Amino acid sequence: MTVAVDLGTTHTGEPAELDLEELLSTRLLVQGNSGSGKSHLLRRLLEKSAGWVQQAIIDPEGDFVTLADRYGHVVVDANRTPNDLARIANRIRQHRASVVLTLEGLDADVQMQCAAAFLNGLFEADRSHWFPMLIAVDEAHLFAPAMAGEHSEEARRASLGAMTNLMCRGRKRGLAGVIATQRLAKLAKNVAAEASNFLMGRTFLDIDMQRAADLIGIDRRGAERFRDLETGNFIALGPALFRRPIPIRIGAVETAARSGRPTLMPLPDVSPDALADLVLTAPEPERSPERGSVRHSEMPPWQSVSACEPPRVETSELLSQVISSGPANDPGSPVDEDPRTPEERAEAVDRIFAEMLDDPDAAFRPVPVLYQEFLTHCRLKRLRGAETDMGAFRRRLSLARAGIAGDETDDEWADVVAVSAELPEEMQGVFMMLARAARDEAESPSDVMLAKAYGSHSPSRGRFLLSFMEDRGLIGVEKDFRGNRVVMIAATGWRTKLPEVTLDSIDEARARRAARMARKA
C-alpha cells in the first residue's frame, strides 16, 4: 500500500508528497542552518504520518513533547538508568507505541549516552517485534559528530555507534532514520551517506553548500541557490520524493513547539532605580514543594513560567502507558520534601560511594564518568542538593580514594584540613593520606599508593604529587641511605617513620642494587 504524506507544495503550486513506504526503506536527511525550518519540517512529517506508522523522536530540547496531547505519543524522560531506557525501548517495539524521548536539561555527554542506550534498545528488540518505525533525530550532529570534540570519548563512541547502526543496519529491523542537522560538516559522513532522500534548506557556508550540492547532484553554481532559500523552503530529492531536485515549501502544522521563533517585545516599563533593585537585590530562594525545585517568591509581572514542562513519570508508570499506547498520565500528587534527616542523607551518600568504589576499576575511571554514575545513584535514592554538586563530589572522591573517613575532630587535624584547601580538589585526599600516615607514625605511602589515590596507574604521578606539595612548602621529603622516604607535614610537624630493617628488606635492597649494577654494566 502506498501512503502519500503531504509535506506542502512545490514551486509550481503542485502538492509535494512523500512516499511513506519508500521512506521506510531509504531513510531521510534534512539539512539547514538554525532558523531555516528543520524542526517545522520534522513536525509536519510526523503529524501527517502519525496515523500510519509508529514513531520515536529523539528530542534534545523537549520541543516535540506537544505531540503527545494530540497524537498520543508517550513522553519518555531520558533521566533514567541505561537498563530502564533499554527496557522501555523493548516495550515500545513490542506494543507499537509512538514516543518522544526528551533529553532536555541533561548534559551533552549524558544526552549522547541516553540516546545510545535508547536506540540500542530499539535495535536489539526481538525479531518478532520488528514492526516498521520512523526514528526522527533532531540536531543529529550532536549524536553523530564528525570528529572528537569536547565530549568524552566513551559517550561519543556509544552515540556514534548507535546512530551508525540506525542508518546502516536499521532497515532490516524495520527502523527508518529521519535525521536533521544544522551543518553537514558537523555530521559523521558514514551516517549521512546512508540516506537516499534529501531535503536541503538554507545554508551559507561554502563547505556545507558544496556537500549539499554533491549529495543532490547539482553543480557548484547551482549550490549558490541554498543561500537564497527562505525559511520553510527546501530542495527535495530522493526515491521517496522526486527523481530530480525540486524546490518545495513546507505546509502548516497543527501543534506548536514550546520554544517558537523569537519575536520582539517592548521592554518593561520600570524606573531605572526599581530595575536596579530587581537585578541587584534578588529575593531569597525558597523550595517549591511541588517539584523540589528553587523558585522566587517575588517575580516581576512581565515574566511568566512555561507550564508545558513534561512531568516526571516513573518507569513503572511509563511502561504501563506504553502497553496501553495512550498519552502520559497525570503526574499525581505533589512530592513532599525529603523527610530524611541530614544524618540519614549522609549515610545514603556514604553507601553510594562505598558501592561505587567496590569496583576495582573505579579508582582509575575519569571523574566526569564517575560523577554521572554518582548522579544516577542519587536520583534513584531521591538525593539532591549540596551533597551532589561537582565540587563536593570531587573532594569526597579524593578522600574516598585515599581512604580518609573525615571523622577526625581534633584541632591539629583541622589545621591539616585547612592547609589541604590550598591544593586542587583532586590532590587534597592525597595530602590527607600522607598526613594520616605521619600522624600515626606509619611508613610513607608508596608511589603506587599515592598514584592510585589520585586516580592514576602511573607511579611517576605519585612522585610528581610529592614534588608539587614540597615546592609549595606543605610537606618536606627526606630519604635515608637506602632510598626509603620520610615525609614531614609542615603545618603540624608530624613525620612518617622509616620501614623496619628485616632480613627480607635487606635481601630486597641487595637485589635492587644488583639489578642497578647490571643495568649500568
pLDDT given at position 224? 74
pLDDT given at position 293? 44
How far apart CA 157 and CA 145 sit, in angstroms, is 10
Other CB atoms within 10 A of residue 469 CB: 24
pLDDT given at position 407? 53
Residue 509 has pLDDT above 70, yes or no: no
Per-residue model confidence as pLDDT tens digits over 305-342: 344 455 566 666 666 666 665 443 344 434 446 677 77
Question: Which residue do the cell numbers 517558537 mark?
Answer: 260
In terms of pLDDT, which residue wins out, 48 or 515? 48
Per-residue model confidence as pLDDT tens digits over 18-67: 999 999 989 999 988 888 888 899 999 999 999 899 999 999 988 899 89
Angle at 310 between CA 96 and CA 131, to 5 degrees: 10
Angle at 473 between CA 467 and CA 476, to 5 degrees: 65
* Topology (CATH) of 4-250: Rossmann fold (3.40.50)
Angle at 273 between CA 272 and CA 278, to 5 degrees: 95
Banded pLDDT at 240 (limits 50, 70, 90) = very high
Per-residue model confidence as pLDDT tens digits over 353-405: 777 767 766 656 666 667 777 777 777 777 765 556 666 676 666 666 656 65
How far apart CA 367 and CA 258 sit, in angstroms, is 35
In terms of pLDDT, which residue wins out, 16 or 379? 16
Q: Which of 270-279, 303-312, 467-476 has the lowest mean pLDDT?
A: 303-312
DSSP 82-136: HHHHHHHHHHHHHHT--EEEE-TTS-HHHHHHHHHHHHHHHHTS-GGG---EEEE
Our CA dihedral for 186, 192, 196, 202, rounded to 10 degrees, sits at 0
Secondary structure tally for the chain: helices H, strands E: 20, 15
Question: Which residue do the cell numbers 553543480 mark?
Answer: 219
145 secondary structure, DSSP code: B
How far apart CA 177 and CA 122 sit, in angstroms, is 12
Beta-carbon contacts of 446 under 8 Å, excluding residues fewer than 6 positions away, are 459, 462
Global pTM? 0.55
Residue 429 has pLDDT above 60, yes or no: yes
Question: Which residue do the cell numbers 603545618 mark?
Answer: 491
Burial of residue 178, with CB atoms counted within 10 A of its CB: 0-12 exposed, 13-18 middle, 19 or more buried: buried
Residue 292 has pLDDT above 50, yes or no: no
Question: Which residue do the cell numbers 513519570 mark?
Answer: 313
The pLDDT of 401-428, averaged and rounded, is 72
Domains of the chain by residue range = 4-250, 340-388, 394-521
pLDDT given at position 222? 72
Beta bridge partners of 55: 134
Contact 430, 465 (CB under 8 A): yes
pLDDT given at position 507? 60
Whole-number average pLDDT of the chain: 79
Query: Around 407, how many Cα atoms within 13 Å sit in the side-chain half-sphere?
Result: 4
Banded pLDDT at 349 (limits 50, 70, 90) = confident
The pLDDT of 163-173, averaged and rounded, is 90
Contact 311, 331 (CB under 8 A): yes
How far apart CA 56 and CA 133 sit, in angstroms, is 7
Q: Please choose, from the candidates 256, 245, 235, 199, the residue with its C-alpha nearest in 3D space to the C-alpha of residue 66.
A: 256
Beta bridge partners of 175: 133
Q: Which of 30-34, 179-183, 217-221, 427-431 has the lowest mean pLDDT?
A: 217-221
How far apart CA 129 and CA 227 sit, in angstroms, is 44
Per-residue model confidence as pLDDT tens digits over 131-150: 999 999 998 998 999 887 77
CATH 3.30.230 is the classification of domain 394-521? no
176 SS3 class: strand
How far apart CA 241 and CA 232 sit, in angstroms, is 17
